[in-house]
Chains A and B, each alone.
Chain A
Amino acid sequence: MTNIQNILTYFNQLPILLQIVWIGVLGLFVSILFFLFYLYYLRNYLRAEEVISKNLFTEYEASLINYLYSGDGISKITSEQQEIIDKMKTCIQDKFKRTIFISVLSKLKNDISGEMATAINTLYLKTGLIKYSLNNLESKKWDKIALGIKELTQFEVVNVYNEISKYKNHDKQEVRNQVQLYYVSLFHFNGLEFLDNLKSPISEWNQIQLLEILQKFDDQEITDISPWLKSENDSVVLFALKLAKIYNQFQVIEILLNLLNHKNKQIRVCVIEILGYFQVKEVKQILKINFGNRSEEEKVAFFKIFEDIVDEEDEAFIIENTSNPNFKIRFLAFKLLKKLNIEAINLLKVNASGINNEQIFKFLEII
């Protein structure tokens, strides 16, 4: 008691500045102590949660396997399966348990197909998990909406098309991506109808995902892509161009030739590459007319595809471009000329002046 009194007396005699410093030190000390205890508690809590989560995961895994092997093979729910469904219905009322159960279902659904995959979809519906996914669609948080759509896609719920379509032009790209994946995963090529009125851009990553999903289907009969090639949405045109190439859409060549004058350079370059892939000779006449006015990327793309469609009539144009200031174009021109008329290249070699083409000649001698 006297010690405390002495400390207080000493403290009161201190100058005001030192008193403030001491109060600050004490405050900091208490805060550090508080945070240390809080961290200790948090660590224990997270560890305990991890253990519970692991145990629940194992329990649900076993329940799921039991459910899948308790089926009678004739699509009816057996009494044993019904018992598991009832048990899970109660469990999933708790958000934590529901998240774990969905992760167990998703993990297996990703890796298996056939009857068992269908049985997992049925379990998703029968336990009422669909209700929670649909509730997520009503959320104000975009990540919850995206998650809801992802679950509905994964468990192949086809009858919520209209509910999901509400989000096809959502502000957040992640939500739009999920909507597009839903359409294509469940409605295959028919699902691409969303491209008709799409206002927002399709991300490059989502385009790759959509193409990958489409290629998995047995039915590879693609719908008419012409309207998408004429779309005002550039990302839709670019996606349609990818479809045209992958699915060899020769019937759209006329539209592709028109796209050579599209306002978007990326589209023009892409069209040149595809026309080259299809070996369409008409592309030469169109591009030669205003070759000088085209961008460097288009010129290079054109010379790259030239190899497959080149003929003797093009010699003068190629010779003209052997003095092009762009090294890539010059190299490709010499390469083509070597293929077309080796004598001409030897003549140019002798007469070469101004531009140093030594490296190109050396390389062309090797290949």
Chain B
Amino acid sequence: MSNLKKIVLAEDNSTLALLLKFRLEKEGYQLLIAEDGKKAIELIEEHKPDIILSDIMMPFISGLEVISHVRNKLKLQMPIIVFSAAGQEEMVLKAFNLGANDFMGKPFSPNELVIRVRRLLT
């Protein structure tokens, strides 16, 4: 059994997902990547991660639906950080209402994300 803390990263930008995977794995986390909301929900149900990082706009199932599923259906309380593009302020408010813990507006610094993840996991 690995003791590494698990992170589910739901992000449809494959390059960004890869970049964050490298960065967070270097910090000692285990990364599980989902390219859409549907896959993210599958990974969350299967692995029960310690933290979820999710983009808001994703194919099939949006980040908001992922948060709602985690909080209302799975009744899980792990921290959730959402990523949003400029002009999605309303979406961010909805994400907080649904139970997100933090948000980062795109473009964001991967180093800043690492700090926020670390803070939420301690």
User: What residues make up the interface of A, taking CB atoms closer than 8 Å to B?
Assistant: 61-62, 64-65, 68-69, 104, 107-117, 212, 216
Contacts and interface: CB of A to CB of B under 8 A. Distances in A.
B110 interface: yes
- Interface on chain B toward A: helix, strand, loop, or mixed SS? helix
Interface of B: 13-16, 18-19, 22-23, 26, 83, 86-87, 106-112
A108 B16 contact: yes
Contacts of A65: 15, 18-19, 22
29 contacts: A61-B14, A61-B18, A62-B18, A64-B15, A65-B15, A65-B18, A68-B19, A69-B23, A107-B13, A107-B16, A108-B13, A108-B16, A110-B107, A111-B13, A111-B106, A111-B108, A112-B16, A112-B106, A112-B107, A112-B110, A113-B108, A114-B111, A114-B112, A115-B109, A115-B111, A116-B19, A116-B109, A116-B110, A212-B87
A114 B109 contact: yes
A6 B87 CA distance: 77
| A-B complex: 7 closest residue pairs judged by Cβ atoms | A114-B109, A113-B107, A108-B15, A111-B16, A111-B106, A107-B15, A61-B15
A108 B19 contact: yes
A109 B16 CA distance: 9
- Interface on chain A toward B: helix, strand, loop, or mixed SS? helix
A64 B22 CA distance: 12
Nearest to A114: B109
Contacts of A216: 86
A113 B26 CA distance: 19
A61 B108 CA distance: 19
B111 A110 contact: no
A188 to B, nearest CB: 16
A109 B19 CA distance: 12
A104 B15 contact: yes
Contacts of B83: 111
A64 B87 CA distance: 28
Given A107-B15, A115-B111, A69 B22 contact: yes
A212 B86 contact: yes
A109 B83 CA distance: 15
B18 A112 contact: no
